[in-house]
Structure 1
Amino acid sequence: MNLLLVADIGGTNGRFGLVEFDADKNRANSKVNYTAERQITLKCANYPDMATMIKACCSEFGIEIPAYACLAIAGPIENGQASMTNLNWKFSIDGLRDQLGMKTLHVINDFASLAYAVPFLEDDELITLYDSHKSSADAPIVVMGPGTGFGMAALVPSQNNWRIIPTEGGHASFAPTNEKELDIKAFLLKEQNHVSVENILSGGGLVTLYRALAHNEGVEALPYTPADVSTKGIANQDPLCREAVLTFCDVLGEVAGDKALSLGAKGGVVIGGGITPKLVDLLPESHFLERYKNKGPMTGYVSDISIRLIVNDKAALVGSAAWLINNTESLK
């Protein structure tokens, strides 16, 4: 029996979990449970570096530092070096492994971890937003989601496993498709020289949409936070907030269709991140599905691709565990 440490570490919080894994039992059963039965969340600001936080995490669990771990981090990983986008933390993966006395340490991007979780999630951890009944199990899946930023990755079937193709699709240009969105983009181009998908589809994007709509209506924008815009929009307490969240849903449908086309995602579209589950009841009121399918001669192509939504907010821990187990020879 091996005790595995898995984590999903962003700019604000580090979510940690412990997975008990028995390789012999795994070989005897076709289905592996990747869920971390014990989980804790730590505030990143309370620690000076990754090693200190991991030690504190293990102390909270009351265990020695495990020999095997996989960390999903919000930041780039290149040539064995990892850095956190919204924290001043940089580290060598091999150096951290040796410092902590681990046998194996994997560090992957947090959205890659979320994407890798998708094939291993249970039915009650996803809801279907649109079912075409034609998605293919042998085709790529595109996983995307608005949160603090906009993440995107592709999953490609590969020799009874899945290969992750990380992307920076959130930084592709925002493409307006109606007069209102053209006005929104024109407003933003006065403040910046490139307007990306992430500028619209993110927590900050909700505020951006609200500010742009207020400007174009000749109304003074209030100093709302993303939570203010979503809460007031969902409750219909502020008409501009309501319009902002509905516009957000429209653009999300548009982008989901674009990414499905670009990646040939006949295996389906999966939406993750923390924002969409809060807005799910508004999707039917928006033009989400209409915009998803509205691809001219490729409307039929996209209409054959189903859309699901991840509702398990700890799904990245599942992805980290699955990655660790399926990509560590000594655990197979």
Structure 2
Amino acid sequence: MSFSAAPRLTLVADIGGTNTRVALADNKVLQEATIRRFRNADYPGLETILREFLAGHADLTCHGTCIAVAGPVAHGVATMTNLDWIIDEPTLMRATGARNVALLNDLQAQGHALGHIVPENLRPVFGVASTDTQAAKLVIGVGTGFNAAPVHETVGGRYVAASECGHVNMPVRNEADLRLARFVETAHGFPGVEDVLSGRGLERLFAFVSTEAGAPAERSAADIMAGIDLNDESGLANQTARLFVRLLGAEAGNLALTHLPFGGVYLCGGVSRAIAPYLEAMGFEAAFRDKGRFAGFMQNFSVAVIEDDYAALTGCAVYLAQQKSE
């Protein structure tokens, strides 16, 4: 008689600017029943969250920990972009008891999840990705912030490069975009991509659109999305969403030309999922391909939206399993 080995469970977490999701994984497989969501504002730091999560799994031996963070990671230390937390590997070891720990940028985790997301959770926008399994891919995250990461297959396994491209200049195509850049730069002295392509970016776009209309106003991102009506082109919510979609298409096209992801461009994050139903009607594809003499070349790229809210957790599990197999 043979017995299956007991699962060697690992702890994975995805820390966004607003919420942290924590779960257990068995090798590369996320244990969805264990997922818990924590509101960051209710906790002083990640260690408190991890201890609270593990308190509900008293008999667990944690064989590894991988954390995805919305911010840069360098030399085993993560600095959150939109949250006043600093996370390092000793903290993870202390909180979980695991000796095998890893920190990833959240977009790196999304990149490692590609190929492990069920087809039903991938919403095609346009195009068909190359069937070449070695072709580069690109993940673009739009949520509390904005970032992107190229995904490469190498002889040593998958490599997902980190970046902070949400903090480069926003795309400017016409005079109205230039006025927008001047409008948003008053917040930080610089018109970054994240200032227009994120949850708060959507709010800034509404403020700009209403100001241009001669009636300055403010709306929350949720209210803007709720106010979209494709039958009312003159509505401020519609105008805001259409501007957002055009800028998103332009910036996604810029990133595609930078990284040549013939294996596909994948949009992820809460704002990406919310705006997904309007991408086709509001001209995303035209903005993506609006690259002058390279417009035809842009047909080499496909775009899809990742509708799996837990893809980053899966990516953490996959990354950790890959590290243990090396």
Higher fraction of helix: 1
Residue 9 of structure 1 is matched in structure 2 by 15
Residue 14 of structure 2 aligns with an amino acid whose one-letter code is: D
Deviations 1:91-146 (A, max 9, x none): 43135314542121111111211121122212112111112454643221111021
Residue 229 of structure 1 is matched in structure 2 by 224
Residue 98 of structure 2 is matched in structure 1 by 102
Distance 2:220 2:313 in 1: 28
Relative to structure 1, the CA distance from residue 252 to residue 240 in structure 2 (aligned partners, 3 Å threshold; closer, same or farther) is: same
Q: Answer whether contact 2:250 2:287 (CA < 8 A) is retained.
A: yes
Say yes or no: does 1:169 pair with 2:175: no
| Equivalences, count | 319
Deviation at 1:74, TM superposition (A): 2.1
Distance 2:189 2:30 in 1: 44
Residue 3 of structure 2 is matched in structure 1 by none
Say yes or no: does 1:185 pair with 2:191: no
Distance 1:12 1:52 in 2: 16
Q: Structure 2: where are the runs of 5+ without partners?
A: 1-6
Q: Structure 1: where are the runs of 5+ without partners?
A: 22-31
Instruction: Name which of 56, 62, 66 aligns with 1:66.
Output: 62
Q: TM-score, normalised by structure 1?
A: 0.88
Distance 1:234 1:63 in 2: 51
Deviations 1:7-45 (A, max 9, x none): 112233221111223xxxxxxxxxx64554421112233
Deviation at 1:320, TM superposition (A): 0.7
Residue 77 of structure 2 is matched in structure 1 by 81
Tell me, what secondary structure is at the counterpart of 1:85? coil
Residue 226 of structure 1 aligns with an amino acid whose one-letter code is: A
Distance 1:256 1:128 in 2: 15
Q: TM-score, normalised by structure 2?
A: 0.90
Residue 327 of structure 1 is matched in structure 2 by 323
Name whichever of 275-284 and 42-51 sits farther off.
Answer: 42-51
Residue 201 of structure 1 is matched in structure 2 by 197
Deviations 1:143-170 (A, max 9, x none): 1021111011110111262101111211
Q: RMSD of the TM alignment (CA)? A: 2.2
Deviation at 1:245, TM superposition (A): 0.7
Residue 20 of structure 1 aligns with an amino acid whose one-letter code is: D
Tell me, what secondary structure is at the counterpart of 2:124? strand
Residue 301 of structure 1 is matched in structure 2 by 297
Deviation at 1:196, TM superposition (A): 1.4
Say yes or no: does 1:140 pair with 2:136: yes
* Identity of matched residues, %: 28
Distance 2:115 2:159 in 1: 11
Instruction: Name which of 205, 213, 216 aligns with 2:212.
Output: 216
Distance 1:291 1:135 in 2: 25
Deviation at 1:281, TM superposition (A): 2.0
Residue 166 of structure 2 aligns with an amino acid whose one-letter code is: G
Name whichever of 44-53 and 6-15 sits farther off.
Answer: 44-53
Tell me, what secondary structure is at the counterpart of 1:284? coil
Tell me, what secondary structure is at the counterpart of 1:129? strand
Relative to structure 1, the CA distance from residue 54 to residue 234 in structure 2 (aligned partners, 3 Å threshold; closer, same or farther) is: farther
Relative to structure 1, the CA distance from residue 179 to residue 91 in structure 2 (aligned partners, 3 Å threshold; closer, same or farther) is: closer
Relative to structure 1, the CA distance from residue 130 to residue 53 in structure 2 (aligned partners, 3 Å threshold; closer, same or farther) is: same
Tell me, what secondary structure is at the counterpart of 1:233? coil
Name whichever of 308-317 and 136-145 sits farther off.
Answer: 136-145
Residue 197 of structure 2 aligns with an amino acid whose one-letter code is: L
Q: Answer whether contact 1:135 1:268 (CA < 8 A) is retained.
A: no
Instruction: Name which of 100, 117, 123 aligns with 2:119.
Output: 123
Residue 291 of structure 1 is matched in structure 2 by 287
Name whichever of 292-301 and 242-251 sits farther off.
Answer: 292-301
Q: Answer whether contact 2:9 2:61 (CA < 8 A) is retained.
A: no
Name whichever of 147-156 and 107-116 sits farther off.
Answer: 107-116
Relative to structure 1, the CA distance from residue 191 to residue 321 in structure 2 (aligned partners, 3 Å threshold; closer, same or farther) is: closer
Deviation at 1:46, TM superposition (A): 3.3
Deviation at 1:256, TM superposition (A): 1.0
Distance 1:151 1:208 in 2: 18
Relative to structure 1, the CA distance from residue 135 to residue 174 in structure 2 (aligned partners, 3 Å threshold; closer, same or farther) is: farther
